Amino acid sequence: MSGTIVKRTPFFKILIANRGEIALRIMRSARRLGHGVVAVYSDADRDALHVREADQAVRIGEALPAQSYLKIDAIIAAAKASGAGAVHPGYGFLAENEDFAQACRDAGLVFIGPSPEAILAMGNKAGAKEIMQRAGVPCVPGYQGADQSDAVMLAEARTIGFPVMIKAVAGGGGRGMRLVTDAAAFPDALRSARSEAQGAFGDPTVILERAIVNPRHIEIQVFGDRHGNAIHLGERDCSVQRRHQKLVEEAPSPAVTPELRARMGAVAVQAVKAIGYEGAGTLEFLLDRAGNFYFMEMNTRLQVEHPVTEAITGLDLVELQLRVASGAPLGLTQEDIKFFGHAIEVRLCSEDAAHDFMPQSGTMARWQMPDGIRVEHALQSGSEIPPFYDSMIAKVISQGTTRAEARGKLICALEQLTAFGITTNQGFLIDCLRHPVFARGEATTAFIGDNREALLAVRPDRGSDVALAALLLYVTHPHAPPWQRGRSLSATFPLGLRIDLGHGVQEIEIVRERDGSYLAIRNGDRFSFVIDELGQDSIRFHHDGVMEHAQFLRDGDRLYILHRGVTLAARDLTLAPPESATAAGGDGKVRAAMNGRVVAVLVKPGDKVAAGQPVMTLEAMKMEHVHTAGVAGTVSSIDVAEGEQVTTGKIVVEIEGTTLIYEAACPVPSFSQQAT
């Protein structure tokens, strides 16, 4: 661009059109560079950490919190009201919305991202593939035509050949995406993908692609500026996924050689220059076993997993974004980019991996992050996890001189992480990192599916877990005999407890011996404990000749324990009636499995349904979850409407089915029964 005058667009104060850890991450770099920062918030986030940390904060919505962050007019008005001169969209919500970028331009605000034209060109999957094909970039075979009729889509899927992928044309993050293995399943998958795409992106249009079997998911980080400079910052391997959403990302990829990195990087830079791209972007590819790579899409924004690239390059990618947006040149050439070491990131999500990764919401009773490792989050003890947003609550990033070192550091960090009150995928992530396939660097996109049984297996020492939970429930009970070190003049009768650690109710007895030790008896197995120290939130004890310690939190009949790197959530059911078929819908009432929004009611009153038949689809944390009938029978009532927000346990559909008889609970001994 020699001889061309490049317009500079300086700014001081930045409004961040996002929330949570994303907003905090951007604030950190912006403040380091001397910029003021402004937050926006919905009513659900009034007390959120990103709101309190900002210099200013502006309310932008109330009723549907997730939709508040999509209100372009409200965000532009907030920028004007706060005096911000620039808007950073974060890496979600409006980050890839060309209308938002254009609205910022029209309002005289600097949009910290690519131009509206580049977002439009590359943000649409169908259009992006056409651009890449013209540029000679290899693409996955598929259909991206304008005719979206059911009949045409099915015919094109047959032509491509099953299995095929359905993808939202405006999508990302795995939403609006379905893998379909045969023609019979295609119509339902198409409907579901369109519904999810409409809800997440406001556009139900989808494309079809041939499913590449067991590929690697490789992405190339790129940067361009308005001076015509373009570089790549190497690759990230994002193959470990569930529901087409990434869980583990690393850089560099164990499968990419220096020669392959150079080829893929050159293709990515060529694409950036072809469209005059400015700012941060990511080109995503599928890499097959033979080393062939195929373009999938371009994300015209900063990625969630950008910290691993920062770790191996020593660059601050948000700083580069701000530099480019101000009109300054990148200040880097490809030869300046050096890679060192290895980095791995995991996404800590509020979800129950053992129950199909069901999203969880509620109060995070205790939140404590490990020292000496990078963690991106926006939580503290007592924070609310709402059902309106993505289930990711933190990113934990490790760095080492080798991949083995980075993996070891990350496992240790996750073992120390305390997240009590909400079920998370903490243990699942540890199991993924420890799995031999991942350890060897051989994980593909099929990793979780192929190893699901092993990754979700119940721990072999579950008996010890139950015994420890029972012991803690006993000694922390408000009416329990006070703990004291050493021998006791009194011993107790066996106290029967019924507890649940998520794998069904367990019966166990606790006895305090005269020598001061405790005995836990379960199914004839005996577990002996000697407590050395008992604090408000920690215990140190001997078990099987080994001294151990655990962190815990007692909250009514709930007990949370961090022991040997695994978080256990126990529930005291000693005084509760036996579990019945009611919870599973065996009484004919289908209940919402989580807080969420009803996106589809699939039956109507009078319909005959079979047990297991889908009756309602609920959206929570940007994912759809189908609810099924617990019994066969006739639908007698629909208790919700499409679009309604429901809470966990609410009855949504009633079916006239089986009548159940319940038995009363048997009495149990109390703490007051002692013998001297």
The residues carrying an active-site annotation are: 301
What is the identity of the amino acid at 237? D
Q: What is the 3-state composition of the chain as percent helix, strand, coil, each rounded to the nearest 5?
A: 30, 30, 40
List Cα–Cα distances, 342 to 278, 337, 404, 413, in angstroms: 27, 15, 9, 16
Say if CB 22 and CB 2 are below 8 A apart. Answer: no
Please give the distance of CA 426 from its chain centroid, rounded to a whole number.
Answer: 11
List, in sequence order, the alpha helices (H) in 596-642.
none
List Cα–Cα distances, 310 to 306, 412, 484, 584, in angstroms: 6, 21, 51, 46
Tokens of 86: 């620039």
The angle subtended at Cα 24 by Cα 250 and Cα 243, nearest 5°, is 45
- Please tell me the distance from the alpha carbon of residue 84 to that of residue 72, in angstroms, as a whole number: 15
Tokens of 558: 């709930």
Find, among 24, 169, 18, 21, the residue nearest to 92 by Cα: 18
| DSSP 8-class letter at 239 | E
What is the identity of the amino acid at 318? V
- Please tell me the distance from the alpha carbon of residue 651 to that of residue 639, in angstroms, as a whole number: 7
- Please tell me the distance from the alpha carbon of residue 262 to that of residue 565, in angstroms, as a whole number: 39
Find, among 19, 17, 20, 18, the residue nearest to 364 by Cα: 20
Please give the distance of CA 62 from its chain centroid, rounded to a whole number.
Answer: 24
| DSSP 8-class letter at 481 | P
- Please tell me the distance from the alpha carbon of residue 113 to that of residue 324, in angstroms, as a whole number: 9
How many C-beta neighbours within 10 Å does residue 201 have?
Answer: 21
| DSSP 8-class letter at 37 | E
- Please tell me the distance from the alpha carbon of residue 374 to that of residue 397, in angstroms, as a whole number: 5
Say if CB 647 and CB 620 are below 8 A apart. Answer: no
Cis peptide before 163 (omega within 30 of 0): yes
- Please tell me the distance from the alpha carbon of residue 551 to that of residue 256, in angstroms, as a whole number: 41
Say if CB 447 and CB 240 are below 8 A apart. Answer: yes
The gap between the terminal CA atoms of the chain, to the nearest Å, is 93
> What does DSSP say about strands 384-385 and 362-363: parallel, antiparallel, or unpaired?
antiparallel
Residues in a beta bridge with 553: 560
